[in-house]
Structure 1
Amino acid sequence: MSNDDIQDRGMKKWHGFMMPEHIGELKQAWIDSQKINMPLFDEDRIFEFEQLIRYAKDYNLYVDLSLFDDGFERKLFGYISSIDQLKKDIKVVTVEGIEIVRFDKILNVTVID
């Protein structure tokens, strides 16, 4: 009998040693390792974001927003319906509905002409 004739179960045999709590902790550790830190922007970059947002609102143009969402980057596509300078947020009309976005959560703004 040679080694080629042996039927090995592979990794299945090791899963019996892993408790569900360990598997959950490993998954959470992997998710935490994928998170990013919120970058700090200088005044010029913030001013550029504000100009692009105003331009998109004035001409009713489609925008692609990159947002910081709990350590991850999230994309949002839509039209800007209003800008609130006091609350420092904007209302974006998307396919799903209206979403309110805070200025300090914006990573990037792209206006699609």
Structure 2
Amino acid sequence: MIRDRGNIKWNSLMLPEHVKMLREWAQEDTWDEKKELDEQKLEQLNEVAEEAMKLGKEVNITYFSHHHTQQLSGRIHCFDPMKKEFRIVARSGRVHHISIEQIEHIGIIG
């Protein structure tokens, strides 16, 4: 059986810029795609967020940040209409600012 070094043997023939571009390209394959929300989904998110703010309920928010989908649990403190972002106080007490465009789902816990 021939023991081949795979792509390692070709790296010496490639420019460092090309190696860097190939690594960035491979990393981009792991990125998630942001979901585009329709008006019905946006209205539903608005209703859930409004209810959670009025009643002081804890929510679980799924949002898109830095090419990945992330989750956050906490209470919606307020909504800033000028910046179009929610201020969420997480369970740890840390305040997060999440833009409306980033949010994919809001669910009330309990």
Identity over aligned residues, as a percent? 20
User: Which one of the candidate residues 60, 64, 67 is aligned to 2:60?
Assistant: 64
Which of structures 1 and 2 has the bigger CA Rg?
1
Gaps of 5+ in 1: none
Matched length: 107
TM superposition shift of 1:53: 0.8
RMSD between aligned residues: 2.6
1:16-31 to structure 2, matched below 5 A, reads: 20-31=16-27
2:53 is aligned with 1:47: no
1:1-113 to structure 2, matched below 5 A, reads: 8=3, 10-11=5-6, 20-33=16-29, 34-42=31-39, 44-94=40-90, 95=92, 97-113=94-110
List per-residue Cα deviations over 1:51-96 (Å, max 9, x = no partner). 1111112222221111122432122221111122343211101226
Residues 30 and 96 of structure 1: CA distance in aligned 2, closer, same or farther (over 3 Å):
farther
Counterpart amino acid of residue 28 in structure 1: E
CA distance in 1, matches of 2:109, 2:87: 17
Structure 1 length as normaliser, TM-score? 0.72
CA distance in 1, matches of 2:69, 2:36: 11
Gaps of 5+ in 2: none
